[in-house]
C-alpha cells in the first residue's frame, strides 16, 4: 500500500509539473470556460429571481465541457511518447496510474473552477462564496474525474478518442449532473445544507463506487 501511494504521489507530481510547464490542459480549459460563460451571459437574461436556480446549471455545464478537454489531454501526453508502457512496467500496480491521473484531473478541474467563479460573479453580479456550494462543486468534480479518467483511459487507444470520450462519458454522468445542479441550485437559493443532503449522499456514493470499480478494472481497460 505504501508503494502504491508513493507511486500515486510521484505520478501526480510529474503530471502537475508537466502541466505547469506546458499549460496545455489549463489554457484550453480556461479559454473554453471563459468563452462559454460569455456566450451564456449574452444568451440568457437572468433576473434576480431565477438567477440562483440557473447559476448552478451554467457553472456545472461550463465545468463539464471544459473538463472534457482536460481529460482528453491527460492521457494523450503519455500516449504520444509511448510513456504508458514505461509506467505500466514501473508502478507496483497499474491502478496507481488511474488514481494518479484521477487526482490530477480533479485538481486541474478545481483550479479552473477557482479561476472561473470570480469571473461568473463579475458577469452576473452574483456572489458564489458559499461553503455548501463549494463542497458540492468539489464532490461533483471528483465524481466527474473518477468516471472521466476511466473512460479517457479506454478511448485514448482509439483513433476517434475526441469523439468517443463525451459520447461514452456524458450518459454515465447523468446522476452526477442532476445531483450537482439540484444541490447547488438549492444552496444558492438559500436552502440549508441539510435540505440537499440526499444529493450530497448520492454524489459521495457515486464517487466511491466509480473510483473503487475503476481501480479494480483499470488494468483490463488499458491492456491490449
Chain residues in the site for another protein (CB under 8 A):
3, 6-7, 10-11, 13-14, 17-18, 21-22, 77, 81-83, 85-93, 223-224
Min. distance of Cβ 85 from another protein in angstroms? 5
Provide the b/e sequence for 24-63 (b: ≥16 CB within 10 Å): bbbebbbebbbebbeebeeeeebeeeebbbbbbbbbbebb
Q: Return the number of the residue (77 or 119) whose C-beta is nearest another protein.
A: 77
Min. distance of Cβ 27 from another protein in angstroms? 13
> In this structure, which long-range contacts are made by residues 78-82, counting pairs with CB atoms below 8 Å and at least 24 apart in sequence?
78/156, 79/156, 79/157
Min. distance of Cβ 15 from another protein in angstroms? 9
Q: Return the number of the residue (49 or 159) whose C-beta is nearest another protein.
A: 159
Grid cell digits, residue 56 = 448552478
Min. distance of Cβ 98 from another protein in angstroms? 15
**Considering only CA atoms, which of 126, 116, 121 is closest in space to residue 34?**
116
Q: How many CA atoms lie within 13 A of 133 on its CB side?
A: 22
Q: Return the number of the residue (60 or 218) whose C-beta is nearest another protein.
A: 218
Q: Return the number of the residue (91 or 176) whose C-beta is nearest another protein.
A: 91
Min. distance of Cβ 83 from another protein in angstroms? 5
Q: Return the number of the residue (45 or 224) whose C-beta is nearest another protein.
A: 224
What whole-number distance in Å separates Cα of residue 55 and Cα of residue 128? 9
Amino acid at each position: 500500500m505504501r508503494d502504491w501511494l508513493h507511486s500515486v504521489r510521484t505520478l501526480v507530481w510529474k503530471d502537475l509539473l508537466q502541466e505547469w510547464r506546458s499549460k496545455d490542459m489549463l489554457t484550453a480549459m480556461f479559454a473554453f470556460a471563459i468563452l462559454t460563460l460569455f456566450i451564456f451571459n449574452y444568451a440568457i437574461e437572468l433576473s434576480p429571481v431565477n438567477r440562483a436556480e440557473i447559476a448552478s446549471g451554467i457553472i456545472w455545464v461550463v465545468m463539464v465541457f471544459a473538463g472534457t478537454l482536460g481529460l482528453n489531454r491527460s492521457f494523450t501526453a503519455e500516449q504520444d511518447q509511448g510513456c504508458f508502457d514505461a509506467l505500466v512496467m514501473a508502478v507496483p500496480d497499474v491502478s496507481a496510474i488511474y488514481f494518479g491521473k484521477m487526482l490530477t484531473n480533479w485538481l486541474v478541474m478545481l483550479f479552473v473552477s477557482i479561476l472561473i467563479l470570480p469571473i461568473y460573479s463579475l458577469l452576473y453580479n452574483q456572489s458564489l462564496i458559499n461553503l455548501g456550494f463549494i463542497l458540492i462543486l468539489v464532490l461533483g468534480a471528483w465524481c466527474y474525474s473518477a468516471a472521466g479518467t476511466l473512460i479517457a483511459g479506454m478511448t485514448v487507444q482509439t483513433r476517434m478518442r475526441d469523439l468517443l470520450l463525451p459520447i461514452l462519458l456524458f450518459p454515465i454522468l447523468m446522476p452526477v449532473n442532476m445531483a450537482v445542479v439540484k444541490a447547488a441550485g438549492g444552496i444558492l437559493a438559500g436552502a440549508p445544507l441539510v435540505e440537499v443532503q440526499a444529493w450530497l449522499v448520492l454524489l459521495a456514493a457515486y464517487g466511491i463506487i466509480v473510483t473503487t470499480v475503476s481501480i479494480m478494472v483499470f488494468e483490463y481497460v488499458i491492456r491490449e
